[in-house]
Amino acid sequence: MTDKSIFDQMQEIGKTARDAAAKLALANTDKKNKALLAMAASLRKNQDKILAANAQDMKAGQDKGLASAMLDRLLLTEERIEAMARGIEAIAAFKDPIGDVMDEWSVPSGLKISRVRVPLGVIGIIYESRPNVTADAGALCLKAGNAAILRGGSESFHSSRAIHACLIEGLKAAGLPETSISLVPTTDREAVGILLRDMGAFVDVIIPRGGRSLIERVQADARVPVMGHLEGICHVYIHESADLDKAVAVTVNAKLRRPGICGAAETLLIDEAALGSHLGPILDALIEGGCEILGDAEICALDSRVKPATDDDWYTEYLDKIISVKAVSGIEDAMEHIRTYGSGHTESIITEDGAAADTFLSKVDSAIVMHNASTQFADGGEFGMGAEIGIATGKLHARGPVGAAELTSYKYQVRGDGTTRP
C-alpha cells in the first residue's frame, strides 16, 4: 500500500529536480564551482551541528546493536568532516566534463559531426550507512550538471540531513536552484519503492550503493534505469608462483587496511601447491591483525585456528575483520570460484608468473582485475579520477569507479548547409 502523502512528496521532489536539472544543464563551470566551494565552507562552519546530529545517529546505532564496522562507517569526526569539505573542494578543482567535445569529424555527405558531453539529468542515489556519501554524491552530481535525489540509510538520517543543509547553503550562495540536490525527508522504506517504481517521468537513472538486501529490492522493484553499485565480494588469489612477501603484504592490506569498504577482500583463494609454503605465514599475519579465519575442509585440516566456512560464506561481504579461505586446484578452479560467487567488483592475483597474470586479467569478468596489488585500491581517487560515487558493478554505462565523467551522457551535434540524404 502506498502512503499517499509520501507518494505526493516524492512526486514533488521529482518534478522540482527535473526543473532544476534543466537549469543545471546550462549552468557554467564557474557557477557550479562557486556552489561547491560554498558547500565546503558551510560544512566547516556547521561542523558542530553535524557532529551533534551524528551523535544522535551513533547513539541510536549503538542502541540497535550495529556491528562495529557499521558504526565505523556511520561515525563522523572533525577529521572526517574536514575530509568531506576537502573532497568537495577537490571536485570543484577537477575538470568540468560538461560541454567537452569528445570527438569531432566530417563525413562525405558534407556534415560536420561532434559528440558533446551533456549531463544525464536527474540521478537518484540510494545508499546505506555512510553519511559522507550525502556530500560526495550531491557534489559530484552537481559538478556533472545533474540534479540529485538522495536517499540515505535510516541509520544516518540526522547526519545526512545536517550535511544536506550545508549543500543547500552552497547552492543558494551560487544562485542555483535549491532543488538541485534533494534529500528524501523520511526514513520510511516506502519512499525507496516510490523512487524505484514511480519516478520514471523524473529520474534518468538510479544508483544503488549497498548490500544484498538493497540489490534484491532494486531488482524486484526498479522501473527506471539502474547503474548498480552493489556489494564487493572481492577475491585475492594466491597462485602457486606467488612471491611469499607480496602474498602476505597484499592479503593483509586487502583485508585489514579498512575492512568496511567495498574494495576490502572477503575471500582468499590459495593454490593447493602453495598451501605448504604460503598458508601459514598469511594466516599468521591476518590473525595478528585481529582477523577471524573461516576455511573450507582442507584449510581447517591444516590449521586449528580456522573455523569451518559454510557455502553462504563464499557469498558474504563481511565488511569486518573476517575472511573466508579456500584451497583451489589451480587458476581455472580459482576463476570458476570467482565466476560463481563473485559480485563483479575487484579481484587480484598474486603471482610472479606473467602468463598466469595475463590469463587472470583477461578472463576474469570483473570491473577491476589486478595483478600483485591490493583490492583496496578499487577507488576513483586512487585511480586518479577524482572523487567517486562508488564502484559500478554492472556492465552498462559505467563500470568500476564512477566519477563526474561517468555521470554524463552525450549528444551528437550535426552541422550541414541544407544537406539532404541521397
CA distance 212 to 232: 10
74/373 with CB nearer its own copies: 373
- 3-state secondary structure (DSSP) of residue 392: strand
Q: Output the nine-digit C-alpha cell for 131.
A: 553519511
Among 188, 243, 284, 292, binds its own copies (CB under 8 A): 243
Q: Output the nine-digit C-alpha cell for 252.
A: 593483509
- Footprint of its own copies on 196-225 (CB under 8 A): 200, 204-205, 219-220, 222-223, 225
CA distance 348 to 236: 5
Among 253, 267, 324, 343, binds its own copies (CB under 8 A): 253
160/253 with CB nearer its own copies: 253
239 close to 335: Cβ distance less than 8 angstroms? no
**415 touching its own copies, by CB under 8 A:** yes
**373 touching its own copies, by CB under 8 A:** yes
* Minimum CB distance to its own copies, residue 187 (Å): 26
* Minimum CB distance to its own copies, residue 302 (Å): 24
**418 touching its own copies, by CB under 8 A:** yes
Measured in residues, the chain has a length of 422
**365 touching its own copies, by CB under 8 A:** yes
CA distance 390 to 386: 11
Q: What are phi and psi of 98, to 5 degrees?
A: -75, 135
Q: How many of the other CB atoms lie within 10 Å of CB of 265?
A: 29
Q: Output the nine-digit C-alpha cell for 138.
A: 550531491
Among 55, 66, 90, 111, binds its own copies (CB under 8 A): 111
Place of cell 547526519: 159
Number of amino acids touching its own copies (CB under 8 A): 68
- Footprint of its own copies on 117-136 (CB under 8 A): 118, 120-121
Among 194, 369, 387, 404, binds its own copies (CB under 8 A): 369
**288 touching its own copies, by CB under 8 A:** no
**368 touching its own copies, by CB under 8 A:** yes
Residues forming a β-bridge with 105: 113
5/420 with CB nearer its own copies: 420
DSSP H/E element including 113: strand 112-119
Residues forming a β-bridge with 206: 124, 226
Parallel, antiparallel or unpaired: strands 390-392 and 400-402: antiparallel
**329 touching its own copies, by CB under 8 A:** no
Instruction: Measure the N-to-C terminal CA separation of the chain; round to a whole number of Å.
Output: 56
* Minimum CB distance to its own copies, residue 106 (Å): 9
9/114 with CB nearer its own copies: 114
- 413 Cβ contact partners less than 8 Å away, ≥ 6 residues apart: 113, 114, 116
**178 touching its own copies, by CB under 8 A:** no
Q: Contact positions toward its own copies, by CB under 8 A?
A: 25-26, 105, 107, 109, 111, 113, 118, 120-121, 200, 204-205, 219-220, 222-223, 225-227, 243, 245-246, 249-250, 252-253, 257, 350, 357, 361-363, 365-374, 376-377, 382-384, 394-397, 399-401, 409-421
